[in-house]
A and B are shown apart, each in its own frame.
Chain A
Amino acid sequence: MDKKSTEPFPPPASNDKEIIREILAEKERDADVADKMYGILYEASLADEATMDTDLIDECVKAIDLIEGHEGRLDQERIKAMRQKVDQKYKDWLKVQRKRKLKKLLVQSAAGLILVFFMSSAVASALGYNLIQIVADWGKDTFHLSAPNQSNGQDGNNNVADRKIYGSIDDVLQDVAVKPLLPQWVPDGFAFTYAEKFIRLDNTNVVLYYENNANKTIVFDFEIYTDQTSADASFEKDDNMVEVYEKNNLRYYLFQNIDRMQAVWISAKVIYNVSGDVSAEEMKKIIDSMDGGS
């Protein structure tokens, strides 16, 4: 924007009379100058926020205002009225934000309460924990559950996972103390691709990956606990309500997270977490095929 002036040096004038005479002698059509100024203004306005020459913009604005007879300050009452409108709009925005937050919190709390009761009861009874010892908390978008075992003195840093990848389901489940229930049905086009196993001090995590031609996936995540360990599970979810699906006296919790359907339940020392690019109905069919999870 740093254009060279056509007048690098001022006119040689010794006194005010000559200077003013010189100024008056310059004949420029205001419309031409205004057009030139608009050109500079629009060019300067194309810059990004980091490099914008706001001084130049101000100069152009003032020059055009002068040419068009709009010079002078804005009426203070008018500014006040406009600022009051901004304040009102901001208050309205805050109200909407608060309502949204509250709505989200309520949904999360409701989902959290359902899950905490279900998970604590199931894990506690399965592992012999006292319900009061089970600690649950949830943040903005997550639900977290943990049940510390007094007899287990390991701290979190020692609970390092040993991760291995497997090409078949049989291989991944070899040496796993408690065998999780496996899906007998998945939606058309999905096929098993690979599996992972994470062996930790307090649990074993088996994950099965299914994929179709459109790169859609279904993930079966089994967290398998033994008697002497503590249980810990966290799930992320969105604003949608949790659906409770009952089958064979077990409750399955279906919810969505980032457009993926997710189902969570506990059965026989295993926390099941199935997520995928499937509908709620398809998820229920998957659950049914896992023998109702029982």
Chain B
Amino acid sequence: MRREDKNDEAFYENLCNQYFERIYFYCRRLVRGQEQFMDFVEDCTQNTFLEARKQISHLRNHPNIEGWLYTTARNLINQSYRSMYIKKRHEVMMDNNTSGTLMEFEHYLEELFNSSVDLDRLCADILSELNANESDLYRDYYKDNMSIPALAKKYDVSATAITTRIYRLKKKIKNLVRDCFIED
């Protein structure tokens, strides 16, 4: 194998390790997680990386390889949709029964939390479940009172991305509290 080919192979391998899962999840979200489109998701993820492999030499010098992968995946999903003549592609809502049940339970979470005997222990347990990145964000945002623009700068992402990340952190904490009481 030529040195150039070896480099291409290594680059492609790295690309797969870094992005395969992310592209799969992205495709899954583009079809709103609908079970009947999971074949699309798999096919489009595979075809995104097939295209990447075909064009690997060109991609090695691409200024935004992530952007290329995401737009390729998006285009493939759109193509699949078009081929099925699906017009209202974003209109399927999540299962209302499931969300309704969770919603009802979450309504009482605050009460349950406040009624806990050992709040300090409960807080420690919950916070210990956060991963390193989440702990950092929790500290920066809630403890150190960093603003959104400052956080966006620190984490090198857009303000919208950091707001979404904070939302995710809050949601995870809610889920952890819920899990504690479900277990109890």
Which A residues lie at the B interface, using CB under 8 A?
Answer: 1-5, 7-13, 16-17, 19-21, 23-27, 29-31, 33-34, 37-38, 40-42, 45, 47-70, 73-74, 79, 82-83, 85-86, 89-90, 93
Contact = CB atoms under 8 A, between A and B. Distances in A.
B160 A56 contact: yes
Interface residues of B, number: 78
Given A74-B21, A90-B54, A3 B173 contact: no
A79 to B, nearest CB: 6
* A interface secondary structure, majority: helix
A209 B30 CA distance: 56
**Chain B interface SS verdict (over half):** helix
A56 B157 contact: yes
A83 B49 CA distance: 8
B162 to A, nearest CB: 8
B42 A33 contact: no
A5 B159 contact: yes
A83 B20 contact: yes
A209 B24 CA distance: 57
Contacts of A89: 46-47, 50
Given A51-B67, A55-B157, A37 B164 contact: yes
A3 B70 contact: no
B7 interface: no
B170 interface: yes
Nearest to A65: B25
Contacts of B74: 45
Interface of B: 16, 20-22, 24-26, 28-30, 32-33, 42, 45-47, 49-50, 53-54, 63-64, 66-68, 70-72, 74, 90, 93-94, 96, 98-99, 102-103, 106-107, 109-110, 113-114, 119-120, 123-124, 126-127, 138, 141-143, 145-149, 156-168, 170-175, 177
Contact of B25 (A21, A61, A83): A61
Given A3-B160, A64-B29, A10 B142 contact: yes
A93 B50 contact: yes
A52 B145 contact: no
A57 B49 CA distance: 18
Given A23-B170, A83-B20, A34 B94 contact: yes
30 contacts: A3-B159, A4-B148, A5-B159, A7-B163, A8-B148, A19-B138, A20-B126, A23-B173, A27-B106, A30-B99, A33-B167, A37-B164, A40-B160, A45-B70, A51-B64, A53-B158, A54-B67, A58-B22, A60-B29, A60-B164, A61-B22, A61-B25, A67-B94, A68-B33, A74-B21, A74-B24, A79-B21, A82-B45, A82-B46, A83-B16
